[in-house]
């Protein structure tokens, strides 16, 4: 692994990569198997550029359209390409044939301002996040220099209003389960007992269900990370009751073995029968997390169960755990009281 950014190995020798005065990228073989010698050559080239010299011919300047096409090809392998494809197309229409190395923080911030006239801050942030990752890949491909990447990635995302947090009470959960159709009931029970997303549930395969060791293994999640979810007694009983024939590898499938595509009709109907309003299937995930927090489960554990990338996302549930603050202060009180008692005993002995 390189100790200096811009030194990489190709075959048996090291190469160096650096940006010229105009930001265009140069790649040059160091013609050595020694990393130290390659690092020395890189420092020499950077010194020459600082003095106004151009030691080698730099690669051509790429346009945003070219990046959009190449990035779309790369992103087509990703799970959520359908959503990202829209962002790529929208960004390509906005920036056209603008040279990549001419991008500045101001240009991106102006785009943010323009986007706010049409979409919500959250959507504008998704577009800018896509833009940033496009430049990250462009940097990896040697299309832009460090300075250009730094300018684009340095743009801060817009502040977003608090997200929706709707969850069911224990009574509402029971009422919902009772009004579900036979094919919907196990899907809802899995959501309530795992916090899994609808796509993860409908895409669940029997090979990912380990009843012997008591967990579900999700290899491909929204964040692209592996996640293990413990199976409680309710979930175990639910899974064991589902017919497991050889006609389908999916847990939730029709008589022909084809996985269910959605619950767009059955779920709203069940909510209506249960007298539950303004509730979406994704809110079952909020219900799972909210009841864990209210039961005293720590935020870090909830984060891991939900598969959040960072604790900030999980903190939206923290207000549901006021008892944690009370408990924390009580622990401190007990500790301080114990210390005070010891001090008093010492004074009495003296």
- Same domain assignment for residues 11 and 79: no
**For 253-298, where are the alpha helices, taking DSSP H only?**
266-273, 283-294
In sequence order, what are the residues at sequence separation of 6 or more whose Cβ sits closer than 8 angstroms to the Cβ of residue 240? 211
CB 115 within 8 A of CB 127: yes
The CATH number covering residue 103 comes to 1.10.150
Helix/strand/coil for 16: strand
- Same domain assignment for residues 143 and 229: no
Q: Where are the beta strands (DSSP E) in the chain?
A: 7-10, 13-19, 25-29, 209-210, 215-218, 227-230
Work out the burial of residue 324: count CB atoms within 10 Å of its CB; fewer than 13 is exposed, 13-18 middle, 19 or more buried.
Answer: middle
* Strands across the sheet containing 209-210: 209-210, 215-218, 227-230
Q: Is residue 158 part of a domain?
A: no
pLDDT one digit per residue (tens) for the chain, 350 residues: 445 678 888 777 888 888 776 666 777 778 888 989 999 988 888 888 887 776 555 556 789 999 999 999 988 877 667 778 889 999 999 999 999 988 999 999 999 999 999 988 888 988 999 999 999 988 888 788 778 889 999 999 888 776 667 889 999 999 999 999 999 999 999 999 999 999 999 999 999 999 999 999 987 555 556 788 999 999 999 999 998 877 789 999 988 888 999 999 999 999 999 999 999 999 999 999 888 888 888 888 988 888 887 787 787 777 776 655 566 666 676 767 665 555 445 455 55
Q: Is residue 196 part of a domain?
A: yes
Q: Is residue 143 part of a domain?
A: yes
Q: Is residue 335 part of a domain?
A: no
- Same domain assignment for residues 285 and 182: yes
- Same domain assignment for residues 314 and 204: yes
Structural domain total, the chain: 3
Q: How many residues does the chain have?
A: 350
Q: What is the CA radius of gyration of the chain?
A: 28
In sequence order, what are the residues at sequence separation of 6 or more whose Cβ sits closer than 8 angstroms to the Cβ of residue 284? 168, 188, 191, 192, 195
Q: Which domain holds residue 23?
A: 7-50
Q: Is residue 350 part of a domain?
A: no
């Amino acid at each position: 692994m390189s100790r200096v950014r811009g030194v990489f190995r190709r075959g048996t020798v090291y190469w160096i990569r650096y940006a010229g005065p105009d930001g265009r990228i140069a790649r040059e073989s160091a013609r050595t198997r020694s990393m130290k010698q390659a690092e020395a050559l890189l420092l020499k080239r950077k010194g020459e550029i600082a003095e106004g010299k151009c030691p080698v011919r730099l690669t051509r300047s790429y346009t945003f359209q070219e990046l959009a096409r190449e990035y779309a090809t790369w992103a087509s392998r990703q799970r959520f390409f359908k959503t990202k494809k829209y962002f790529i197309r929208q960004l390509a229409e906005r920036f056209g044939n603008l040279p990549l190395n001419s991008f500045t923080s101001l240009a991106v911030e102006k785009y943010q301002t323009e986007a706010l006239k049409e979409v919500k801050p959250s959507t504008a942030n998704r577009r800018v996040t896509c833009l940033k990752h496009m430049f990250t890949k462009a940097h990896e491909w040697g299309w832009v220099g460090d300075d250009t990447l730094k300018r684009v990635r340095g743009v801060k995302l817009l502040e977003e209003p608090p997200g929706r947090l709707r969850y069911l009470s224990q009574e509402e959960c029971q009422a919902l389960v009772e009004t579900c159709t036979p094919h919907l009931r196990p899907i809802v029970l899995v959501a309530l007992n795992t916090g899994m997303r609808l796509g993860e549930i409908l895409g669940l395969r029997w090979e990912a269900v380990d009843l012997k060791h008591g967990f579900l293994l999700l290899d491909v999640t929204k964040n692209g990370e592996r996640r293990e979810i413990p199976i409680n007694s309710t979930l175990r009983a639910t899974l064991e009751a589902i017919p497991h024939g050889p006609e389908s590898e999916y847990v939730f499938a029709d008589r022909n073995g084809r996985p269910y595509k959605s619950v767009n009709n059955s779920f709203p109907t069940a909510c209506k029968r249960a007298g539950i309003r303004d509730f979406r299937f994704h809110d079952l995930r909020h219900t799972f997390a909210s009841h864990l927090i209210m039961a005293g489960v720590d935020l870090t554990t909830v984060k891991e169960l939900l598969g959040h990338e960072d604790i900030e996302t999980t903190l939206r549930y923290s207000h549901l755990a006021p008892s944690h603050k009370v408990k924390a202060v009580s622990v401190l009180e007990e500790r301080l009281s114990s210390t005070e008692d010891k001090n008093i005993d010492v004074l009495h002995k003296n």
